[in-house]
Structure 1
Amino acid sequence: MLGPNCREVTRRVLLAEETRLSLRERLGVRFHMLICKACPTFAEQLALMRRASARWRRYSEE
């Protein structure tokens, strides 16, 4: 296999929220993102949810 599949990339993107990925993992994710349409969309949606959650926390603390 040349690189990680979508399932593995999704797991690594979520894992990267909590811990630093190894260089090999980061390169595998980056390469996969170049050849896949769905995984970059997933990563963008995850970032959007993270920002929305942070805004909601700030809003609810006021």
Structure 2
Amino acid sequence: MMKCKEATQLLSEKLDRPLATKEKVSLAMHTAICSPCRQFGKQMEEMREISKRYIKGKDATTK
């Protein structure tokens, strides 16, 4: 069984690269039973979206 440390690492890497099938399956199994890791994944995705919106807004004001 995957440990939380490994899961959070993969949740972070998932934002930057496609995960291998084995990684996806292991991560899905872990997050299905681990609500803290599930929440961490949601927070990482939210932070990515907030950062994108911030950069877009900043680009619009610098032109």
Structure-2-length-normalised TM-score? 0.88
Q: Any gaps of 5 or more consecutive residues in structure 2? A: none
Q: Considering only aligned residues, what root-mean-square deviation do their CA atoms show, in Å?
A: 0.8
> Which structure dedicates a bigger proportion of its chain to helix?
2
- What fraction of aligned residue pairs are identical, expressed as a percent? 25
CA distance in 1, matches of 2:23, 2:8: 12
Q: Any gaps of 5 or more consecutive residues in structure 1? A: none
Summarize the alignment of residues 15-34 of structure 1 with structure 2, pairs less than 5 Å apart.
15-34=13-32
Query: Counterpart amino acid of 1:48?
Result: E
Q: Count matched residues.
A: 60
Structure-1-length-normalised TM-score? 0.89
